[in-house]
Amino acid sequence: MDHDDVIRGWEELEEILSNYDIKIDAARFVRVSIDSSEVRDKLFWLKPENCDAFFNRLDPNDLNWLEDHPLSADFHIEFTKDFDDDSWCEVQFVERLLEQIFLVLNVAVRGGCNYGSFRIGKAWKSLHCSDIESGWHYSSVNEWPVIERLSVIKTWQWFEKFSKFDFILADTAVTKASAVLLHLAYKDDIESTDILQLSQVIENFYLVNGEPKARGLNRKIPVVLGRLPDSNKKLIQNFYKLRSDIAHGDFPLFRPRYRETDAGFEAVEKHYWEISQEVDKGIALVIATLQFLVRNGAERMVFKEEISVETNG
């Protein structure tokens, strides 16, 4: 995570979400403005070179760890609407807006947004970016697929067009990607079924009905994301081997809510890290594909193949 990158990301977000009209339907709009100054200030003080000064100025006797954690920050949202409709849910609108901000910042910027806890109405929730960050980390360590910082403004505009924040049923490749990334962020643990959801998104982006999965992806993904690394030519086959084992019942299941910090982890360590690595790979593929579409202003990809014939005459 580059603190300066994240600070600039929040600045870009505030630039676009300043007196910004979000379309509810053909006749209704909600005007939104955000203030992220506290977030940007906290990010500045948490830069490695500023940490000592930040912690030295804290009074341990004056800390409220539950209500005002020293590493947390607030950002403020104001909105107005020009309609009266009893069916419109203010709580749901704000929640979906927070989710869209989370997705945009984390697709465009590494470690762009993390909600340790937030409350809308009566319920406390968390949206953690750790899994998405693991996808960025996979890309960095393996140098494939390439994931790089994007314009937050351009990413916001693309998401608003192709993954509207108020969707309920994810029925396109883009909205499925949004739904899966949010699902991973809300639950904040690893499950074997994560592989199945990620594979569904990847297949929706790259394959047509009936196309052989591993073989089709091996041909198409390098066209979009670049040649597979020489050190790991079988990375797609490995992902789909694990997917097949899970889907057909040949992979063991973890006890619900089991984590690497739990007692007895050594007994399941091999299977846990196998899933973890492939989840990271799947997330990296999803983010890299989303970034490709954002850069090209597109919702989908169409692959065209040519067949040529040569004769010896």
Residue ranges covered by each domain of the chain: 1-88, 122-312
Taking alpha carbons only, the member of 147, 146, 156 closest to residue 103 is 156
Give the per-residue pLDDT at 258.
62
- 160-200 tens-digit pLDDT: 999 988 889 999 999 999 999 999 999 878 889 999 999 99
Length of the chain (residues): 313
Q: Please write the tens of the pLDDT for every residue from 242-261.
A: 999 999 999 988 777 666 66
> 40 or 73: which carries more pLDDT confidence?
40
Taking only the tens place, the pLDDT of each residue in 273-299 is: 899 999 999 999 999 999 999 999 999
Q: Is the pLDDT of residue 106 over 90?
A: yes
Report the C-alpha dihedral over residues 143, 287, 274, 276, rounded to 10 degrees.
110
Tell which phi-psi region holds residue 226, choosing left (phi > 0), alpha (psi between -120 and 50) or beta.
left
The residue behind tokens 């869209």 is 100
Residue 180: closest CA among 200, 151, 160: 200
Q: Residue 77: beta bridge partners?
A: 34
Predicted confidence band at 271 (pLDDT cuts at 50, 70, 90)?
A: confident
Give dist(CA 75, CA 196) in Å, integer.
Answer: 35
The percent helix, strand, coil of the chain (3-state, each to 5) is 55, 10, 35
In this prediction, residue 266 has a pLDDT band, given cuts at 50, 70 and 90, of confident
- Give CA–CA dist 221/216, Å, rounded: 8
pLDDT over 80 at 53, yes or no: yes
What is the rounded average pLDDT for all residues in the chain?
Answer: 90
**Residue 155: Cβ-neighbour burial (10 angstroms; 0-12, 13-18, 19+):** buried
